[in-house]
Structure 1
Amino acid sequence: MAMKATTQFSPSRNDSNCTSDSRISQVIFPLLYTFLFLVGITMNSLAMWVFFKISSKSYFIIFLKNTVISDFLMILTFPFKILSDAKLVSWVLRGFVCQVTQVVFYFTMYISILFLGLITIDRYQKATSPFRTSSPRSLLAAKVLSSAVWLAMFALSLPNMILSNKKKTPRNVRKCALLKSEFGLVWHEIVNYICQLIFWVNLAVIVVCYILISKELYKSYKRTRCTGKASKKTVNLKVFIIIAVFFVCFVPFHFTRIPYTLSQTRDVFDCSARNALFYLKETTLWLTSLNACLDPFIYFFLCKSFRKSLLDMLCKHRAVSGLGAQGKNEGDDSDETPL
């Protein structure tokens, strides 16, 4: 029975004989991640600096702040991946990447997905109840919910660190699955299915919410006629930003992740198929990483307080103090339109 289970759940037995094109994995992808790191660390450092000058007086701001923290943590994992993939450091760092930073990367990815789903729900509530205000009790509930998201994802991710407990050698650190215990492979596959569920549920929530929001805005447009035309164009642009982030950054990876995980945990693919899935996974994973660079644009277009604070900072040397956001915004801190 034990031998049968090991055969079913095991990294591919022929990995040592299955080689891939090192130019792609050691040169191209490290260069692509270097670009993302330089752009992302700059944009998200600026976003974090701006956001923490804004008070947390709405669900919207609370969720956005959590998103920027998640994106910043994700970006901090990029240098480890760059150095490890480019083989510029010893194999010991590769073991650290498999056990820690790679887990943190996925941990922050799904936190971002969850918070973007919560932001969309908040925008739908704003569309249907534009004069809704946030009470201290409701703000506390939003903070508790945010903490619950972090704790739940941490509880899912921590075993992936602990169960990568096989002795690290120059040979087995080449494939992270080789470091996992038998139960570690099972847990890794279970977590992948849970994360798939998280993504598709959030994608469904976003699509449904924006369909309902569009209906509300179309009703408003019909009432206002000509005066609503320009507003309608602006709203359509904002809908496109959110949908584009999900479909460009997240959908390709989630179509790829299940077969790739099976190629790592079960001996069901030949060498050429495993290599194809690896390159497809790495390409779609880079698109997922691109999310950390696109989110600041979402902050800028959706959050009035963020935009005004940023413009105030950029224009200080011109003595344009009237653009400051603190103490001058009332209500929701989002744009005039519910999105």
Structure 2
Amino acid sequence: MATGSMMEVMRTSNQPATSSHPTPTPTPTHNDSNTCTTLYDHKEYARVLMPLFYCIIFCVGLLGNALALHVIRPNLKKMNSTTLYSANLVISDILFTLSLPLRIIYYALGFHWPLGETLCKITGLIFYINTYAGVNFMTCLSVDRFIAVVLPLRFARFRKVSNVRYICVGVWLLVLMQTLPLLSMPMTNPEPDGFITCMEYPNFEKVPNIAYMLIGAVFLGFGVPVVTILLCYSILCCKLRLSAKANHLTDKSGRSRKAIGVICCVSLVFVVCFSPYHINLLQYMIRKLIYEPDCAELTAFQISLHFTVCLMNLNSCLDPFIYFFACKGYKRKVLKILKRQVSVSFSSAVRTSPEGSSRDVVDGKKIHLNSTSSVRSLEQVTTEYRITGLVFYCVIFTIGIVVKVTA
């Protein structure tokens, strides 16, 4: 019994001692961009759709805003507050569209950035500076219109050109201060599949207090402007409606209704373009403060960011259409250019026709080309063909670029 007891003691003493509380095994963080492998699973169709979308924005936005700048330029001699704010807004839209070609190449390569960290930071800085400069100048325009109609005497000093110049400089400096922290953050990230991403949200996941920073950016860059714009334009619409009821001549002319329609259109475009992106960013950052979202939530947020950023960037493309319907000078200049092109085409067609052929025969009936109605119908048809041809050429050119890059 004693020997058996000694053998039992020796056997148990040779076994390793185990703790009564087992050590828990660490679990990987599923929201880390290095461990989450589904963030860019949508790149196969995004590499075609997103470059095509941004090519259209680039062509339409650059041409439309360049034309707007051409219309505003003669008015700079007799500059007022509205002209100065509009010129800065157009310049910010042009600079924004000029930053798009590199983003088009990036998306066409399947979220791959081969140009290095420095150039990624520069393009990202240009991208965000001009996006939020446009937002702030739209806000300044709404306040300017509000003062001009509702409070023309009390705050008239804010509409003096000398003061507006300082305000414009202050807007650019404010936006620069808001976006300069991007330079201190890593904007590129090598992914497990071998491609390098640029200016994507998962690249900022490791930045300390990123949730607080982005929530503050949403309130300053979108919350304050959207409340200001909607408040100013709502009061402005009420004022115009009351003045139209008080003055029957104004009501009959329809100017108040047109002004209210333009105001509603500007407000709607702003809300539709900018709200989805900032609301999406805000809700994810709030969730991030409460708990750690998993990989599926991060992937859904990443995909939604790509779509909402496209919608936000559409604003620079829609601004020229608002100018066309709201600004008489812009509409007159566009129609004048189109008529000039039509008249050149028509005169060249007349010069190349045989001498004395002022009549043409269609289906056995003689048509006088020098009649007013015929000339007008020919001008309309030529204009339609020119516009259709221009759009067709832009689409073919865009598809050719996308196919060449993705090949």
- TM-score (norm: length of structure 2): 0.65
2:105 is matched with which residue? 83
- Post-superposition offset of 1:97: 6.3
Structure 1 residues 84-103: Cα deviation after superposition (integer angstroms, max 9, x where no partner): 11217964237456422233
* 1:243 aligned onto 2:267: yes
* 1:70 aligned onto 2:88: no
2:73 is matched with which residue? 52
Structure 1 residues 198-217: Cα deviation after superposition (integer angstroms, max 9, x where no partner): 31211111111122112211
For the residue of structure 1 that corresponds to 2:79, the secondary structure is coil
1:150 is matched with which residue? 172
2:60 is matched with which residue? 39
Q: Aligned AA for 2:263?
A: V
Preserved contact between residue 126 and residue 132 of structure 1 (Cα < 8 Å)? no
Preserved contact between residue 262 and residue 268 of structure 1 (Cα < 8 Å)? no
- Structure of higher CA gyration radius: 2
* 1:254 aligned to which of 267, 271, 278: 278
Preserved contact between residue 250 and residue 288 of structure 1 (Cα < 8 Å)? yes
For the residue of structure 2 that corresponds to 1:269, the secondary structure is coil
* 1:190 aligned to which of 195, 201, 213: 213
Unmatched tracts of structure 1, length 5 or more:
1-6, 320-339
Cα distance in 1 for partners of 2:213, 2:123 equals: 20
Cα distance in 2 for partners of 1:251, 1:263 equals: 18
How many residues align structurally?
A: 310
Structure 1 range deviating more: 121-130 or 206-215? 121-130
Q: Structure 1 residues 96 and 84, CA, compared in 2 at 3 Å: closer, same or farther?
A: farther
Q: Structure 1 residues 144 and 316, CA, compared in 2 at 3 Å: closer, same or farther?
A: farther
For the residue of structure 2 that corresponds to 1:174, the secondary structure is strand
Structure 1 residues 8-37: Cα deviation after superposition (integer angstroms, max 9, x where no partner): 9x9534234655222232222122112211
2:51 is matched with which residue? 30
Q: Structure 1 residues 124 and 301, CA, compared in 2 at 3 Å: closer, same or farther?
A: farther
Q: Aligned AA for 2:225?
A: N
For the residue of structure 2 that corresponds to 1:15, the secondary structure is coil
* 1:21 aligned onto 2:21: no
Q: Aligned AA for 2:244?
A: Y
Cα distance in 2 for partners of 1:33, 1:262 equals: 30
Q: Aligned AA for 1:57?
A: M
Preserved contact between residue 158 and residue 164 of structure 2 (Cα < 8 Å)? no
Q: Aligned AA for 1:104?
A: I
Structure 1 range deviating more: 84-93 or 215-224? 84-93
Bigger RCO of structures 1 and 2 (CA < 8 A, at least 6 apart): 1
2:242 is matched with which residue? 219
Preserved contact between residue 91 and residue 170 of structure 1 (Cα < 8 Å)? no
Preserved contact between residue 186 and residue 204 of structure 2 (Cα < 8 Å)? yes
Structure 1 residues 188-242: Cα deviation after superposition (integer angstroms, max 9, x where no partner): 8515522433312111111111221122112212212365142332123112211
- Post-superposition offset of 1:170: 6.1
- TM-score (norm: length of structure 1): 0.77
Q: Aligned AA for 1:193?
A: G
Preserved contact between residue 273 and residue 314 of structure 2 (Cα < 8 Å)? yes
Q: Aligned AA for 1:123?
A: R
Q: Structure 1 residues 177 and 257, CA, compared in 2 at 3 Å: closer, same or farther?
A: closer
Superposed, 1:1-339 pairs within 5 Å as 12-16=33-37, 18-55=39-76, 57-87=79-109, 91-93=113-115, 95=117, 98-128=120-150, 138-164=160-186, 169=190, 173-174=196-197, 176=200, 184-186=207-209, 190-191=213-214, 193-225=216-248, 227-229=250-252, 230-259=254-283, 268-311=292-335
Preserved contact between residue 81 and residue 159 of structure 2 (Cα < 8 Å)? no
Cα distance in 1 for partners of 2:187, 2:48 equals: 29
- Post-superposition offset of 1:82: 1.2
Cα distance in 1 for partners of 2:171, 2:72 equals: 20
- Post-superposition offset of 1:83: 0.7
2:404 is matched with which residue? none
Identity %, equivalent residues: 25
- Post-superposition offset of 1:265: 11
- Post-superposition offset of 1:72: 0.9
Structure 1 residues 163-190: Cα deviation after superposition (integer angstroms, max 9, x where no partner): 3278x646583364565595x5546851
Q: Structure 1 residues 197 and 74, CA, compared in 2 at 3 Å: closer, same or farther?
A: same
Cα distance in 2 for partners of 1:262, 1:164 equals: 23
